[in-house]
Chain A
């Protein structure tokens, strides 16, 4: 199972009309990875995510789920592929007119033929999994931002997806909650055997849980490097990558590198 390609991005160019955002993206996400898409603000990280989850059509190139092409596929086939994925949007994107239980139950009722008792049990299980046991009948506006995000995660996991996508999961969370969310993501990956693709520029998360990554550069409009984040920090020679990974404190680089070598 190790290093089986789960998601392959092949020679992809993303553009809004004539305005190219990123070109010639070529990388592979392996099964079981926690894959980080990083880069400065405005480099097209979130746009790349949109292309991976079928919300935006690439200008050129393709995305392969296993062997299947996402963008060559017919509409229905694409929907079937995307059913194997779950997405957590930046602010949770819970439907505000529904309770948490209804939000989580929504994809289950739509895509399976389970009875309502069984769905209720699954919903309770998913909510307990993200630490929200007992909050079934709350509306999204009645709970805190961190809880909304976890509820969004419960909904993303509703159909036991093979791949989980996260858009800035720790944005807007305090460091402790962000750390807890990171731990949750990692243990879900370990226990469910899912693959995680994460857009983030939170350095703490990147180093704590990332097993592989790609760095997008807004100036050259392409990916500069890919590889495990810690390895990039230690081995990359590219000043942009180093500046990003050290928060611009380049002079501390040798120190940091030494520290990372130890761990």
Chain B
């Protein structure tokens, strides 16, 4: 680094002309002199009519000098002082002419506006209303495309459907295995502590079996798939939106709802019940592991007890619930993806809100269905 000559601005006045001599190296990193001294001389009540510069002793310069000059010139212009820039080096003059070449567009600059709380609430309400409307529209469009499918008129590539099935089925097995096994394990432990008080460890099998099949198997599978596949759908469709791929499909005469959304929804509807059964099995195995190894129940006893406690309707309830969750995950993922804006951060927002919406829907739907089953006594 070469040594910098300290930068200075020296002012002298002759009659109505203020002469500013710019001295030294004006490069970023050096501390520029306070302009206030010059500005006050130009300020209100001064009789200066003209500002000229001299740059004989100016060394190196960069954006630092430019910003200070612009401040001086703008201030001078505001005070009605004539600023003479012709004595500045050519490069600076060139840059200044570029800076002032395009006048600031009127109304372009944004003011910070304080929104009153009433408006915030109102806007929130409108947003919720619009969101609900978009959801209903999306469900309607999905229904229409499913109707088209049943009439054999929906256009999408079957190979896409297989890819999505592969993607949300077999590829999801490892994580579903891990989570369901652990949930079964946890259920068994939590129940065992209480049941062991009465010497009723054998009922752990009932607890885990019913808990997994009716409730936890489907719920866990759904929450995993919401984070895994729902987010992926939103990100895929969002990126397609950013790259104008969806527009391209429309111009080629494809209906994005049929071509992109339908196979994704179908894949999840087909796969979720199977995943649910798999999760049930894993949960029961997890429960058996704990019961057999810690609570003095043999494996045969445990399995017998499970077979007695869990009946076909329990499985059906779980599987139906899980199919519903599948629809909800696919809907929220695809909806957020299709609504995505056209930037990288919009894709992130879409993925986030797909997962949030998905999980909210899942939990609400699950509570509703549980209450209904309870009332109906199934």
Contact = CB atoms under 8 A, between A and B. Distances in A.
Interface residues of A, number: 33
Interface string A130-143: 01111111111100
Interface string A151-166: 0000000001000000
A129 B105 contact: no
B66 A125 contact: yes
Contacts of B90: 191
Contacts of B64: 122
B110 A96 contact: no
Contact of A192 (B28, B95, B104, B345): B95
A133 B99 CA distance: 8
Contact of B94 (A139, A160, A191): A191
A126 B95 CA distance: 10
A193 interface: yes
Contacts of A187: 94, 98
B67 interface: yes
A137 B98 contact: no
A186 B82 CA distance: 29
B67 A112 contact: no
A6 interface: no
A2 to B, nearest CB: 16
A131 B102 contact: yes
A131 B101 contact: yes
A184 B29 CA distance: 27
Nearest to A157: B63
Contact of B344 (A97, A190, A193): A97
A259 interface: no
B109 A137 contact: yes
Interface in A95-138: 95-97, 112-114, 118, 121-122, 124-126, 128-129, 131-138
Given A137-B109, A187-B98, A191-B98, A125 B104 contact: no
Interface string B334-347: 00000001111110
Contacts, number: 81
Contacts of A184: 98
Contact of B62 (A113, A133, A139, A160): A160
Contact of B71 (A114, A121, A132): A121
A129 B101 CA distance: 8
A139 B29 CA distance: 29
A118 B110 contact: no
Nearest to B105: A134
A240 to B, nearest CB: 33
B346 A96 contact: yes
Nearest to B91: A191
9 smallest A-B Cβ distances: which pairs? Answer: A96-B343, A131-B102, A191-B94, A97-B345, A134-B108, A134-B104, A133-B104, A121-B67, A191-B91
Interface of B: 28-29, 62-64, 66-67, 70-71, 90-92, 94-95, 98-105, 108-110, 341-346
Interface of A: 95-97, 112-114, 118, 121-122, 124-126, 128-129, 131-141, 160, 184, 187-188, 190-193
20 contacts: A113-B29, A114-B28, A121-B67, A128-B70, A128-B98, A128-B100, A133-B104, A133-B105, A134-B109, A137-B110, A138-B108, A138-B110, A139-B343, A141-B341, A160-B28, A160-B62, A190-B91, A191-B91, A191-B92, A191-B95
